[in-house]
Structure 1
């Protein structure tokens, strides 16, 4: 798990959702009422949120150049039916894509991705290379080539494994 700072803007929603599952311990915070409430989920929405979470994780692994950790429903298929509308600010005339309905998590995720695409930040949201981690993190490295959520934990473990293998 990373001690990195949260992703900017709406990407924090996606980062938080992906990080509701700790692969190392198996703990899933979507099992708690408090976390479900934070995402606006009813108990019946959890299965869909888990499916969305793992599709996002596979996409974030791809951002970092890693293969999928398992077979999932493609993210585009999940978000394809999430209607977005153009919202125009009357004060300054700025426009953004926003969910047509604020409730569904998929629509909020789709809007966050759309905003990140415009801002050029979407590709920097990645998942850690470590197979027992895959924690979502925002890559702030100058070249955008970060591989681990934390150099002190996952990066150090990978380097130690390579060293011992020699």
Structure 2
């Protein structure tokens, strides 16, 4: 079965999140010029970059919550969207779209644009396919193109393979520990005499040495 194509609006969010490479310890959102990697038309003041990084990490929390049960709730994203209102715009052909409210500029305008992307993706049933790699040392963003929508890692060949190997080794260790515990047997009660040599040697009694 063919994979789903990545919607262009969600691809914008993937590009935004992947300006941060956790594994390499690199962050691309340090200068306004780096915004071209996200969107060539995006322009922000240098002082808005920290707030953009905050938006990026709030989106990362949402992508992780889509498939990791114990992930922290992405409450901050709601707070950020509340400061970037949307309005319904009706086109000449009658189509209705959510667009940034008039008067927004810079980061608030971009945040409203991101909110519109999220709303549109939710309406299409695709928002939960925007995900973040489950590996703690990766957290790379991706669009889940699998037919069942259950992909957990950015790549099965790298993070997925490492996770499965760790799970296999942990299972092997648990099995060995269980075998060791089963082989020890119950401890003798306190005060019980130590087993004789015959008992230690499988029941065959060892004769005492001859007297001189």
TM bin (shorter chain):
0.7 to 0.9
Post-superposition offset of 1:33: 3.6
| Contact 1:137-1:149 at 8 Å conserved across structures | yes
- Say which SS state the counterpart of residue 61 (structure 2) adopts: helix
Instruction: Indicate how the Cα distance of structure 1 residues 122 and 58 shifts in structure 2: closer, same or farther if over 3 A, else same.
Output: same
Given candidates 49, 74, 77, the residue that maps to 1:75 is 77
The reply on whether 1:50 has 2:49 as its aligned counterpart is: no
State how far apart, in whole Å, the 1-side matches of 2:10 and 2:144 are. Answer: 12
Q: Say whether residues 1:10 and 2:27 are aligned partners.
A: no
Report deviation, 1:66: 4.5
Q: Distance in 2 between matches of 1:50 and 1:6?
A: 27
Query: Is the Cα–Cα contact under 8 Å of residues 36 and 43 in structure 1 kept in the other structure?
Result: no
Alpha carbons of 1:66 and 1:50: their partners in 2 closer, same or farther (altered >3 Å)? farther
If the length of structure 2 is used for normalisation, what is the TM-score? 0.68
Which residue number in structure 2 is paired with residue 97 of structure 1?
Answer: 98
Question: Alpha-carbon deviation of 1:41?
Answer: 2.3
Asked if the contact 2:6–2:145 (Cα under 8 Å) also holds between the matched residues in 1, the reply is: no
Deviation at 1:116, TM superposition (A): 0.8
Structure 1 segment 13-24 matched on structure 2, within 5 A: 13-24=12-23
Shift of 1:89: 2.0
CA RMSD in angstroms, aligned pairs only: 2.3
Q: TM-score scaled to structure 1, two decimals?
A: 0.86
Q: Could you say which residue in structure 1 is the equivalent of 2:25?
A: 26
Larger Rg: 2
**Whole-Å Cα distance in 1 between the matches of residues 114 and 60 of structure 2?**
13
Pick from 155, 162, 167: which aligns with 1:157?
Answer: 162
**Alignment CA distance shift 1:53-1:5 (3 Å):** farther
1:67-88 CA distance string (max 9 Å, x none):
447x976110111121111122
- Asked whether the 8 Å contact 1:54–1:72 carries over to 2, the reply is no
Q: What secondary structure does 1:74 align onto?
A: helix
- Tell me if the contact between 1:6 and 1:12 (Cα under 8 Å) persists in the aligned partners: no
Instruction: Name stretches of at least 5 consecutive residues in structure 1 with no aligned partner.
Output: none
Structure 1 residue 125 displacement after superposition: 0.4
Matched residue pairs, number? 161
